[in-house]
Structure 1
Amino acid sequence: MRPLALRRIFRAKRAFTTSLPTSSSSSSSSPSSSPSSSSSSPTSSSPSSSSSASPSPEVARLLDQFQSTSFVRRRVLDATQLQRLSLMLGRPTIDDQDILTSPPAVGTPIPPGHHLVYFASDGLERDLGPDGTDTTFNAPFPFTRRMWASGSLGWSAESVKVGDEVEEHTRLVSATHKQSQSAGEMILVEVEKSIRGPRSSHISDNRTWVFRPAMDASSARRHDFAPSRELSRPPSKMADSSAQPGTFPIRELSWSPLALFRFSALTFNAHKIHYDERWSQQVEGHPGLVVHGPLNMISILDYWSDIHGGGTKPGILAYRAMSPLYAGETYTIRTTGMLDGIYKILVERDGVLCMKSEVWGDIRKTNKGMRTRRSGPKRPQMQF
């Protein structure tokens, strides 16, 4: 990736990952898991370190185990997996191809963020934690509650495409013990993923997880298990409002439990907070099933592509989860500003900020000004 692009990524990471998450009744970030690395092919890597001069025992254990190891996995980007993700998202076309009945053609560019369905962990069930998460980079006990906190993505000018054979290189960047008066004790774990394909195609995927201690029994059980709520939940929905003069369209979304289950299956993600409501309520203290942090991130990228992309792809995304979203809740994605090709995009629910992000337009166009559509996406209405 070009030096300018890398500088922009580092700038984005500083803006979105330096401050601590704020606390809430259940959690502060979008508690979510994603396909994280498994020990497929460990190789030597440059040492990582904690920002603390004398790391906690939990941080020291993580660093001792992973600081000089890089995991490499190889994948062929098959069309069917991409088709299934698009259908789960309610998007019946990819690159102007109708994919309702057949997958996209070989050579179709992978839409931004959709690479997540190809790099799920490969471990056996016995390798998962009690909450269903891949434990490769999990903080040790007692920090058992994992939340998706923030991250950044960067894309080369050339896209990875259906049919490409690519490599994912994953390494631990840092593990840091934090103590906050508002958020309590936590461990922040930053992981760097580098996805390398033919034609110099490349995706940089940095993500940070927050690990907190388990909730005490009295707090964790304050949400009564209510399976009957499942019967009244409507299906997923997604619609764009008409843009007012001087504004951009606002996207309204709601994900059903079925959609969350399908996303978990596509990403081979067994984190129970996304599909086991009893666990989510009684063990982790949430009022319902949690919408995946990566699903919110993909939704932001799809929104940008539809409203602002004009057939291009973004150069960089930086994002930070602020508050959880739950199955059946209606929320919005909207653009609050654009300057020099940088778009500020927020995810909100009833005035509560759930995820904030900045999207840099195509690097080749950023300094020249991007054309932005204010009349809505040029594609079929999203369907579920």
Structure 2
Amino acid sequence: MHPAQGKTRTTRDLMDPARAAALHATLALAGAPPGPGDPLPPFFHQAHFWDARPPADLGRDGHPAIGDFIPDLGLPRRMWAGGRLAFHAPLRAGIPADRTTTIQAVSQKQGRTGPLAFVTLRHDIAQNGQLCVTEHQDLVYRQDPAAGAPRPAPPQAPAEGAEETPLAFSPTLLFRYSALTFNGHRIHYDRDYARGVEGYAGLVVHGPLLAQLMMLHAARRGPLTGFTFRAHAPMMDTEPATLCAAGPRLWIRGPDNRLCMMAEAIH
């Protein structure tokens, strides 16, 4: 077992309704945003519990440097690979909440493109002493891409019939979502860094933003009790995308039919 496993820390957030209102506007949602005491839409807690660090505490990618809470596993590129959520009770705007984060697992293996490291974080979020959300966050770390190295072929999206909703992204949307979630990762707003250092074709759409859109879509069918999602291929800001839904399954499809993210909603 890695020595970092079992480490915990707790963060308190006032759950400012202004952040929920800003995220509501950023996502162009219909109706009034949540006010004080109102339940937050699922996954809106991403706009809270900021980990604000001074510049000296950041890594090259703009995230808090590894080696403090999350261990340094010798691999520079960080990605949010997926997650699992259980919704026990609604989180409400304007009521202080506590998030306890535990490093649940740390592992390393050899992948098709080189060494990989995986870190699973468990977040337990409570208000007024009641557990409201349990979230498992899967992070993956990898090497920088080798110059000229071929990329593995991404998986293809399911061929089954599905309800389809077109999606479009822009640098403004990515910037606003980064600001609201206090996500400093440069792949989402620094095109030169995304291309020149991490080898992407453009600005990368946040995995949590894709998951957020799928959760909101699924929640229109009724309250969610759980949600799982897994990233399979990056989505660029210049690409049109399609949100597909067939029963409890949802996925994001790229313009070349590649599977960018797969999810399952539990009602």
- Could you state the TM-score of these two structures normalised by the residue count of structure 1? 0.63
- Residue 161, structure 1, aligned to residue 92, structure 2: yes
SS in 2 for 1:250: strand
SS in 2 for 1:73: strand
1:175-194 alignment runs, 5 A limit: 175-180=106-111, 182-194=112-124
1:23-71 CA distance string (max 9 Å, x none): xxxxxxxxxxxxxxxxxxxxxxxxxx3xxxxxxxxxxxxx33x334210
The 1-side partners of 2:131 and 2:103 are apart by 23
User: For 1:151, which of 56, 59, 83 is the aligned residue?
Assistant: 83
The 2-side partners of 1:253 and 1:125 are apart by 34
% identical aligned pairs: 29
**Corresponding residue for residue 263 of structure 2:** 357
The 1-side partners of 2:129 and 2:73 are apart by 43
**Structure 1 position 257, deviation (Å):** 0.4
**Structure 1 position 92, deviation (Å):** 4.0
Residue identity matched to 1:329: E
* Count of residue pairs brought into register by the alignment: 254
1:202-225 CA distance string (max 9 Å, x none): 101101111001234x349xxxxx
Cα distance change, pair 130–169 in 1 and its aligned pair in 2 (3 A) = same
User: For 1:124, which of 54, 57, 74 is the aligned residue?
Assistant: 54
Contact 1:105 1:162 in 2 (8 A): yes
Structure with higher strand content: 2
Structure with higher helix content: 1
- Could you state the TM-score of these two structures normalised by the residue count of structure 2? 0.89
**Corresponding residue for residue 115 of structure 1:** 45
**Corresponding residue for residue 79 of structure 1:** 17
User: For 1:346, which of 248, 251, 262 is the aligned residue?
Assistant: 251
1:273-306 CA distance string (max 9 Å, x none): 0000000000000000000011011011011123
| C-alpha RMSD of matched pairs (Å) | 1.9
**Structure 1 position 329, deviation (Å):** 1.1
**Structure 1 position 165, deviation (Å):** 1.1
Which runs of no fewer than 5 residues in structure 2 stay unpaired?
150-160
The 2-side partners of 1:219 and 1:197 are apart by 50
**Structure 1 position 126, deviation (Å):** 1.1
The 2-side partners of 1:141 and 1:200 are apart by 35
The 1-side partners of 2:58 and 2:261 are apart by 27
- Residue 262, structure 1, aligned to residue 200, structure 2: no
**Corresponding residue for residue 335 of structure 1:** 245
**Structure 1 position 105, deviation (Å):** 2.3
**Structure 1 position 251, deviation (Å):** 1.3
The 1-side partners of 2:217 and 2:25 are apart by 16
- Residue 276, structure 1, aligned to residue 190, structure 2: yes
SS in 2 for 1:86: helix
The 1-side partners of 2:78 and 2:243 are apart by 25
The 2-side partners of 1:186 and 1:318 are apart by 22
1:109-150 CA distance string (max 9 Å, x none): 010011110012122121111111123455526400011111
**Corresponding residue for residue 154 of structure 2:** none
1:152-195 CA distance string (max 9 Å, x none): 01101x31111211100001111101113x24210011111110
User: For 1:290, which of 204, 220, 224 is the aligned residue?
Assistant: 204
Residue identity matched to 1:159: P
SS in 2 for 1:251: strand
Contact 2:6 2:104 in 1 (8 A): no
The 1-side partners of 2:26 and 2:77 are apart by 27
Which runs of no fewer than 5 residues in structure 1 stay unpaired?
1-48, 50-62, 221-246, 362-384
Cα distance change, pair 198–248 in 1 and its aligned pair in 2 (3 A) = farther
Contact 1:175 1:190 in 2 (8 A): yes
Cα distance change, pair 192–201 in 1 and its aligned pair in 2 (3 A) = closer
**Corresponding residue for residue 226 of structure 2:** 316
1:243-258 alignment runs, 5 A limit: 249-258=163-172
Cα distance change, pair 159–199 in 1 and its aligned pair in 2 (3 A) = farther
**Structure 1 position 201, deviation (Å):** 4.4
